[in-house]
Structure 1
Amino acid sequence: MLPCWKAHLMNKAGRLAFIKAILSAIPIHQLLVLAPPKKKIQALVKIQRGFLWAGRANAQGGNCHVNWQRVVRPISLGGLGVRDLERSGLAMCLRWLWFSRTDGTRAWSGLDLQFSTEERNFFFASTTMQLGNDQQALFWENTWLEGHAIREIAPQLYACIPKHRRKMRTVADGLQAHKWARDIHGVLGIQEVGQYLQIWHKIEPTALSAEPDRLIWKWTTSGTYTAQSAYKATFHGSIPCDAWKLTWKCWAPSRVRFFHWLARLDRCWTADRLARRGLQHHPRCLLCDQEPETMHHLLLACPFSRQVWHETLAWLRIPCRPPDGEESLNACGPPRDESRRRLCAKDSHQ
């Protein structure tokens, strides 16, 4: 990592670029083959967080403007796009599961690789099996029956299957003379019997073909696993940010875009935020000495800021008022309802 005296020469936008290019890239190669404990990942996150907000290895308290869980979200979801190491490790582990099911020529394909329950559940939720000759699809594990797995349709019945049978029984072998029924062990209750009959009726119309089975990855159009798609799938269901293009897809310098991101989240050290934390602050805005200092006041409502907006828009020859709240708009020009009436009268006259 850069020495502290060099880190202080970089602004936060420069430190962010450094974290994405180096501090997040180096652990990725290790996560490809190793599964480090959470304490190691937390130590790496601590270094990244301290370097971004304070320019040193450790940052605490008021140094951190934004929660790190928001920082590691993709830009389109309101974050800064820094790689989440824990999610990246999960996406990398799925690579071994994918090749173990799709490529039998690998030297390690016959080994019993150990995966956590979270990794297996995420993999089965992200894949589906397109049936062919059913020589590769596992009867109890894969998603092959009407887009679902047996353990999803019949969880109580699935619990009665020994673990070694779950990993060995293929669909083709199970459908032959209904051998899948022989895998059921233990005492069956009413729920298990009901699920057994349900599975029996569902697999009756299943027909085999000459083509081999194909495992399909749900998060890509080609159906092939990629680490990027697996990483993005971990954020599936998150609320997107509508203003991310306005912030990051503009011609402004990086430090300005970074400030815009902080201002939109109201994470700048204005007087109102200092007051909430019990820190020393000025009671009024230092520019106009009229109202308490807030992010909205500094950027939009302050007379000094409005004059800057007016001069900028005039220089750019943009015929619109400076952005502000409803009160300032009404003070600088006719009310919105009156302007709307004038436009309607003009259109009717024409």
Structure 2
Amino acid sequence: MSWALQIRWLWFQKTDSDRPWKGLEIPVHSNARALFDISIVSQVGQGTNVLFWTDKWLFGCSLAELAPSVVAAVPLKTKQQRTVAEALLGRQWPTDIQSGLSLVGLYEYFQLWDALLEVDLSEENDQHIWRFDNSGLFSTKSAYRAFHIGATTFEPWRRLWKAWAPAKCKVFLWLAIWNKCWTADRLAKRGLPNAASCVFCDQTDEDIQHILTDCVFAREFWYKILEPVGLAASTPGQEDQIFAEWWRKARKRADKLKRKGLNSLIILGAWSLWKHRNRCVFEGGQPCIQVIMQEFNNEKQLWHLAGAKSLQELGLGEAPN
């Protein structure tokens, strides 16, 4: 967001000549400047507000893209100051080239010369177009989104990261949704010792989706914590084998006033299942509904004390005095 806001300075510097700081060096991050440079296309009118060597104004490209060897021979200060109007009036741009050109550079030079012969300046104002918005105008929102083009999406992000829960529980669930927890399936892929079957039900191979949603033990546990708040109908069924998808459907079924509390409740429930599983695997315990319910209630009271108001609003009891 900071980079997107910094690009706003660059946009105003380019398009608003009335800004009192227009001629000053703006301290922006290199990533912000790089995105700005590739996002602006200029349409030349008078040519007084378009930089000849660096702006994208010829065929939608900058001269650095069309003739890199020629541009490399131009001093940096000149590239940052020379406008299109100054360069084309009287064909003064060749005088900016301060060092010799190779054969490739000479070829680019003559190609550039031919292309510039077709450029005619007019009395209209120069226009700068922001490529990431249909209006052609800059917005911080479009710049922010441009930074995330190609990023991997995470559908449950809002109900996970916006819910009230300790950070360690959120991080665990984030890993679980991405199937990154060290359950038997993940250990087997790496040739590491692992349990032959689910420690809860002993009926199928273990993976994190099974532990949290598909296991009969997990379903009984979810029923016992959802039933007191009137959401027993949201208990995972046989068709619910992906935790994140079940969570999405359960939240959709709940009343809007209960959704925040439900998100915290589901995070707490998943955390309790994971801790109970680990106790069975590493401490030799036995899966027991009564035990996990006691662990769940103890943890719930701690969350109440820590300020989990959404759980209290859900009707799961009040924090102890």
User: Tell me, which stretches of 5 or more residues in structure 2 are unaligned?
Assistant: 227-231, 243-321
Q: SS in structure 2 opposite 1:128? A: strand
Match of 1:231 among 130, 144, 148: 144
Residue 322 (1) aligns with residue 239 (2): yes
State the shift of 1:100 in Å.
1.5
SS at match of 2:148: coil
Return the alpha-carbon distance in structure 2 between the equivalents of residues 321 and 296 of structure 1: 13
Q: Give yes or no for the alignment of 1:180 onto 2:97.
A: no
Task: Name the residue aligned to 1:189.
Answer: 102
1:255 and 1:275 map into 2 onto residues whose CA distance is 34
CA deviation digits over 1:92-143, x for unaligned, max 9?
3322222211112222112234556544332210111122221101111111
Query: Match of 1:297, SS?
Result: helix
> Which structure would you say has the larger Rg?
2
1:218 is the counterpart of 2:131: yes
Give the aligned partner of residue 163 of structure 1. 76
Alpha-carbon offset, residue 164 of structure 1: 2.1
- Does residue 121 (structure 1) correspond to residue 38 (structure 2)? The answer is no
Task: Tell me the CA shift for residue 238 of structure 1.
Answer: 3.0
Assess, with a 3 A threshold, how the Cα gap between structure 1 residues 117 and 178 changes in structure 2: closer, same or farther.
farther
1:273–1:135 CA distance, 2 compared to 1 (3 A): same
Indicate how the Cα distance of structure 1 residues 275 and 324 shifts in structure 2: closer, same or farther if over 3 A, else same. closer
What is the aligned partner in structure 1 of residue 66 from structure 2? 153
Partners of 1:282 and 1:270 in 2: CA distance? 9
How much is the aligned-residue C-alpha RMSD, in angstroms? Answer: 4.1
Q: Secondary structure at the match of 1:177?
A: coil
C-alpha displacement of 1:287: 3.0
Partner residue in 2 for 1:132: 45
Q: What is the letter of the counterpart of residue 200 of structure 2? A: L
Equivalent pair of 1:309/1:322 in contact (CA under 8 Å): no
Give the TM-score of the pair, scaled to structure 1: 0.54
Indicate if the aligned counterparts of 2:214 and 2:238 stay in contact, CA closer than 8 A.
no
The count of aligned residue pairs is 230
Query: What is the aligned partner in structure 1 of residue 7 from structure 2?
Result: 94
Q: Distance in 2 between matches of 1:112 and 1:267?
A: 46
Alignment of 1:235-254 (within 5 A): 235-240=148-153, 244=155, 247=156, 254=163
SS of 1:129's partner is strand
Q: 1:305 to 1:118 in 2, by over 3 A?
A: closer
**2:176 equivalent to 1:263:** yes
Give the match's secondary structure for 2:129.
strand
Which residue matches 1:207?
Answer: 120
**Identity, % of aligned positions:** 35
- 1:297 pairs with 2:210: yes
The 1:203–1:280 alpha-carbon spacing in structure 2 relative to 1, beyond 3 Å, is: same
Q: Is the partner of 1:228 in helix, strand or coil?
A: helix
Verify the 8 A CA contact 1:160 1:186 in the aligned structure 2: yes
Aligned pair in 2 of structure 1 residues 165, 324: CA closer, same or farther (>3 Å)?
closer
Instruction: Write the letter of the residue equivalent to 1:152.
Output: E
Q: CA 1:231/1:255 → structure 2, altered by over 3 Å: closer, same or farther?
A: same
Contact 1:306 1:322 (8 Å CA) reproduced: no
**Aligned equivalents of 2:89, 2:36: Cα separation in 1:** 27
- Counterpart mapping for 1:331-346 below 5 A: none
CA contact (8 A) 1:133 1:208 kept: yes
- Structure 1: gaps (5+ residues): 1-87, 326-350
Given residue 147 of structure 2, which amino acid in structure 1 is its aligned partner?
T
- Sort the Cα spacing of 1:289 and 1:156 in 2 relative to 1 into closer, same or farther, 3 A: same
